[in-house]
Amino acid sequence: MENKNLSCVDPDMRRVLERYTARWMSRPTVNLNAPQKRDLMYLDLSYWNDLDRLAGITKSEHWAVNGAQAFRLARYRRQDGKPQSVLYWLHGGGWISGSIETHEGIFHRLLRHADIEIIAANYALAPESPYPAAIDDAELGLEEILSTGDIRASQVTIGGDSAGAQIAASVAVRRAQSGADLLRGQVLVYGAFYPAWEGPSHYLYGSGSYGLSSAAMQQSWRDYLPEDKSVHYVPDLKAASSYPKTWLISAQCDCLAQDSIKFAEDLLKQGVDITHTVCNGLIHGFLHMGAASSAADRMVNSIAQYVLCNRKQKRTLEI
């Protein structure tokens, strides 16, 4: 039987769960189509985005073309800022939902804490565009950013949350395999790295009582992956000759917590410079909730400072 005791959850985050649990639990888990899931995610996150919106932030957009398809890149910075560090972000949403707009609140909160530039990609979504379309778009977006000559790889930290973390990690592997210039760093937050929905964190936190459910994650993987099950959807770390130093961040009360533990172990085996931080009491999606949780806000601040200062991370696990 699954543990539904919320005593492990941070008090601020518990209030968030109490507010949203009735809404989440009343919805179908796996019987919504992709457009319906996108609508619900936008509705859920618009509340947090409105709370985090900050005056004095400029946003510019342009389109990148990938074959017959095009996607948007958006750049955020302080109006009076002079950023030298860049965060290239791939949004979460289970590969089937999410957008630049659903994550604008996170970008504004990061900019509240540090004078950096944030560039986000509106990559192609499954199931209309399954694996590897999102990774292809994300890789092309980064190439476009670096091709202008205004931004160097040594200034760019690549990052993502949830499904976006898997996309970011895959782009970093491709760059390492190709011998491209090493990025400044990588930050991956509550990532979905492996198509498995059994294990301790799924047992403890996968019912939906803590937000993201194992059933929803299972359906997202099925929508993302093509029918050819031989496809290598997990980043092939052994093939990478070099890989940026990486900060993995996971939430304790998240069915995907074990993904970050395993990915950290796999990176360590390959000699990657890595830190893994587990955020006690937090749930999946906490980056959106800085306005309600001081612990979540502290982590957003830490990410902003990591991008800004490129602080050295130890090759260790922090649990």
Residues 183, 145 contacting (CB under 8 angstroms): no
pLDDT in tens, 109-134: 999 999 999 999 999 999 999 999 99
What is residue 3's predicted lDDT score, i.e. its pLDDT?
42
Is the predicted pLDDT of residue 135 greater than 70, yes or no? Answer: yes
Q: Give the C-alpha separation, 131 to 83, whole Å.
A: 33
CA end-to-end distance (rounded Å), the chain: 25
Q: Which residues contact 253 (CB under 8 A, 6 or more apart)?
A: 8, 9, 13, 204, 205, 210, 281, 282, 283
Alpha helices, DSSP H, located in 148-243: 163-178, 200-205, 214-224
Q: Give the C-alpha separation, 218 to 31, whole Å.
A: 12
- Would you call 149 helix, strand, or coil by DSSP? coil
Q: Among residues 161, 159, 152, which one has the least CA distance to residue 180?
A: 152
**Mean pLDDT, residues 44-71:** 91
**Mean pLDDT, residues 294-300:** 96
pLDDT in tens, 175-230: 998 999 999 999 999 999 999 888 999 999 998 889 899 999 999 999 999 877 66
Cα dist. 287→6, 92, 161, 232, 313 in Å? 19, 11, 8, 29, 21
Q: Which CATH number fits domain 6-318: 3.20.20.60, 3.30.930.10, 3.40.50.2300, 3.40.50.1820?
A: 3.40.50.1820
DSSP conformational letter for 212: S
Residues above pLDDT 70, as percent of the chain: 91
| pLDDT band for position 314 (cuts 50, 70, 90) | very low
What is residue 29's predicted lDDT score, i.e. its pLDDT?
56
